[in-house]
Amino acid sequence: MNMKAVSVHIVTYNSGDDIIDCLQAVVAQDYPIERMVVVDNASTDGSADRVREWYRGMEAQQQEAAFQKGPMISQTGDQLSKAERHNSDESAGNPLMEKHPVVRHYITLPGLTLIENTINTGFAPAHNQAIAATDTDYVLVLNPDLELAPDYVSRLVAVMEADSRIGSATGKLLLKANPALLDSTGLRMNRARRAFDRGAGEAAALGPDSGTVFGVSGAAAMYSRRMIEDISVEDEFFDGDFFAYKEDVDVAWRAQLFGWNAFYDAEAVGYHERGWKTAGRSGKALFIRRISYINRYKMLYKNEPARTLLPTLICSLPYEIAANGYMLLREPQLLKAWTTFWSQRKELRRKRRYIQKRVKQREK
């Protein structure tokens, strides 16, 4: 059997409370993971140190298991320095390892690449770093506050291998705090070009069946390398100018324009802590709200084909009047986000030309 290589990419920013549970679920997958790539965006809570310490402990426990039970296939983190690996006995009594006991059923410990940025580059640029650091057939983009069921990866790989036009896939994401409720079953976009997580907050028992969707949430998204290479713009899969928020919607739209399909598998399950989206507007920093707001317009400018521009404007006009009218009266500081749009207009125009040229070529 020709096993396709899979890497798991995680971006951390002060994610110390969640990252170990997330990684533990990754090594517990029933499908072999070739490499885990963790990109830390200048966390101040020791997230990178926790990852490093956890991995040393996992190496030590695998070596002990190999000694006790005989040879095991072992693929360890060759990109960790020798200094970081020595004296594995230090992991004994480690509270992190006691809280997260080793998963005994795996044969291969995935390799680890830990990239530590000196500044917070943002979700999108950091994931582009991770993608550039691997060459696997499939890439699972994973949030650090999400835990996967053991068959999550194997189910999605099987779905994508069965249909070469599926470039992205996701499973049923449930709220970790209340697994009876859905977090996301993929992305949907309405005619006004507003994107939503399908089923968010609805009863999980009444969730949709498996099938094609507009796109997949970046919280636990499997992407094929073939699609990554096909739809990247200026060597970027995620638009680095987005920093964070709506970058997964942008990718989903671009992929659809380029002829790729996205799939939702209801049998693949993940549990999401879900951060900022569960808070009210007052609970979100102005910086975050500005980015989320303006990224929608960047996405529209790049991806909306000329032939559908007028219908989209007509459909979105009531929303635009209401939303921007509210902001003008209640949150005028949010509209300053347009300064970033205008400062990046040359780059946006260049990207639009490339995307629309590719779309026209596909349609011939």
For residue range 319-350, what is the model confidence (pLDDT) as tens digits?
Answer: 999 999 999 999 999 899 999 999 999 999 99
CB 22 within 8 A of CB 144: yes
The CA distance from 196 to 200, in Å, is 8
Residue 275 is predicted with a pLDDT of 61
Query: Is the entire prediction scored with pTM above 0.95?
Result: no
List the chain residues with pLDDT less than 70.
1, 69-107, 275-283
Q: In the chain, where are the structural domains located?
A: 6-278, 279-364
| Burial category of 309 from C-beta neighbours within 10 Å (exposed 0-12, middle 13-18, buried 19 and up) | exposed
Give the burial class of 173: count Cβ atoms within 10 A of its Cβ; 0-12 exposed, 13-18 middle, 19 or more buried: buried
Q: Which residues pair with 184 in a beta bridge?
A: 173
Alpha helices in 102-199 (DSSP H): 123-132, 152-162
Q: 6-278: which CATH number, 3.60.10.10, 3.90.550.10, 3.40.50.2300, 3.40.1640.10?
A: 3.90.550.10
Q: What is the pLDDT of residue 62?
A: 86
* Side-chain half-sphere CA neighbours of 233 within 13 A: 24
How far is residue 148's CA from residue 128's CA, in Å, rounded to a whole number?
A: 22
Q: Is the CB of residue 205 less than 8 Å from the CB of residue 262?
A: no
pLDDT of residue 76: 41
Beta bridge partners of 141: 9, 221
**Degrees to nearest 5, angle at CA 186 with 182 and 187:** 115
- pLDDT for residue 285: 84
DSSP 15-79: -TTTHHHHHHHHHT-SS---EEEEEEES-SS-HHHHHHHHHHHHHHHHHHHHHHH--------TT
Of 139, 91, 112, give the one whose Cα is nearest residue 40. 112
The size of the chain, in residues, is: 364
- Nearest alpha carbon to residue 123 among 226, 239, 234: 239
